[in-house]
């Protein structure tokens, strides 16, 4: 389970001064559900997810991830989280197997458990044909599978995906989408940021619309449709964000 409690993040920028990347964001993601965080580029999605994964520390507020506080117990949070984004690359000079094993060891798995876990994952994701191949020699699809295996090796109860399909071809994106759906099936808590509406409609149980660092709207897809009297999700986002954009331009 993820419970964000007034998460805020401010950065100092030499030219622009203090930037409020995320302001007082609170929401809850339940196990076995997929929470979709929607927003334009720069809306605060990545910063929010990085705070949940403890890669960034909140300026204010906190979040409880799988029972651990992101501010007080960041290492325990990370041990319970699988984090995947297009920015999480692989080590080019390690083989696919070494890459996954490295993260298994960092997660404290003993060698026997690690071997079993790696064998299971490689078989499940059909990765045995390239397990000994170096990551810099893998195709994009193989790399994504290796990244997935890397996030799964310690069997985390929480999965965080930050725009995981951005820049990927259709087939590779399908692999990722299928994997996210599988995570829900396994009872994991999943939070997922994207600006691809079809993915949201297909996957998400709960949706949060974020803009300017603030969570503007939250609910299930049907609740949002009913509230805004609009079927198309893109139109719903325009209705939610549009007035703010107009004010900002004015």
Partner 1 sequence: MNLHAIGVVYRKELTEWLRDRRTLISTVLVPLLAFPILISGMISLSTVLIGSAKKEVPKIMILHGEDSPAVVAALSANKDLQVVPYAGNWKDQISDKQIRAAVDIPDGFQASLDKGAPETIQIDYYEGEIKSEFGAEHVEKSLKAYRDDLVKKRLEAKNLPDSLIAPFDIKQQNVAPPEKVGGASIGSMIGYMVIILSMTGAIYPAIDLTAGEKERGTMETILSSPVSRLDLVLGKFLLVFSASLTTAILSVTSMGLSFAYMGHALSSSADTSGAGIHMNLGLTSVVAVFLMALPLSVLFSAVLMTVALFAKTYKEAQSYLTPMTFIVVIPAVASILPGVELTPKLALIPILNTSLVCKEIITGTYHWNSIAVIFASTCVYAAAAIFIAVKTFQRESVLFRS
How many C-beta atoms surround the C-beta of residue 89 within 10 A?
10
Residue 117 lies near partner 1 (rule: CB under 8 A): no
Q: According to CB under 8 A, which one of 28, 30, 66, 88 is a site residue for partner 1?
A: 88
The three-class DSSP label of residue 193 is strand
Residue 20 lies near partner 1 (rule: CB under 8 A): no
Convert residues 56-75 into a mask of x (bound to partner 1 by CB under 8 A) and - (unbound): xx-----------------x
Cβ atoms of 224 and 53 within 8 Å: the answer is no
Helix (H) or strand (E) holding 122: helix 111-124
Select 78 or 211, whichever has its Cβ closest to partner 1.
78
- β-bridge partners, 22: 9
Cβ atoms of 14 and 71 within 8 Å: the answer is no
Select 77 or 240, whichever has its Cβ closest to partner 1.
77
User: Which residues does 126 contact at the CB level (< 8 Å), separation at least 6?
Assistant: 145
Closest contact distance (angstroms) between CB of 41 and partner 1 is 13
- In sign, the C-alpha dihedral spanning 122, 123, 125, 127 is positive
Select 88 or 113, whichever has its Cβ closest to partner 1.
88
Q: According to CB under 8 A, which one of 33, 44, 64, 78 is a site residue for partner 1?
A: 78
Binding site for partner 1 (CB under 8 A): 11-12, 53, 55-57, 75-76, 78-79, 81, 83, 85, 87-94, 98, 102-103, 105-108, 134, 150
């Amino acid at each position: 389970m993820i419970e964000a409690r007034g998460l805020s993040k401010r950065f100092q920028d030499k030219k622009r001064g203090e930037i409020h990347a995320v302001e007082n964001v609170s929401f809850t993601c339940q196990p076995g559900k997929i929470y979709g965080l929607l927003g334009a580029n720069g809306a605060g999605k990545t910063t929010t997810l990085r705070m949940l994964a403890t890669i960034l520390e909140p300026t204010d507020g906190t979040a409880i991830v799988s029972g651990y506080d992101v501010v007080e117990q960041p290492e325990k949070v990370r041990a319970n989280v699988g984090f995947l984004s297009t920015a999480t690359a692989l080590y080019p000079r390690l083989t696919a197997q070494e890459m996954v094993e490295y993260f298994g060891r960092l997660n404290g798995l003993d060698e026997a458990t690690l071997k079993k876990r790696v064998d299971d994952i490689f078989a499940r994701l059909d990765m045995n044909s390239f397990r000994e191949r170096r990551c810099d020699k893998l195709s994009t699809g193989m790399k994504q599978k290796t990244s997935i295996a890397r996030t799964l090796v310690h069997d985390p109860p929480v999965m965080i995906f930050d725009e995981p399909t951005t820049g990927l071809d259709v087939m590779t994106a399908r692999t990722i989408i299928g994997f996210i759906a599988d995570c829900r099936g396994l009872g994991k808590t999943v939070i997922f940021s994207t600006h691809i509406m079809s993915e949201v409609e297909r996957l998400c149980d709960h949706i949060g619309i974020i803009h300017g660092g603030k969570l503007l709207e939250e609910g299930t897809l049907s609740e949002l449709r009913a509230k805004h009297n609009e079927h198309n999700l893109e139109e719903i986002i325009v209705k939610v964000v549009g007035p703010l954009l107009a004010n900002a331009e004015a």
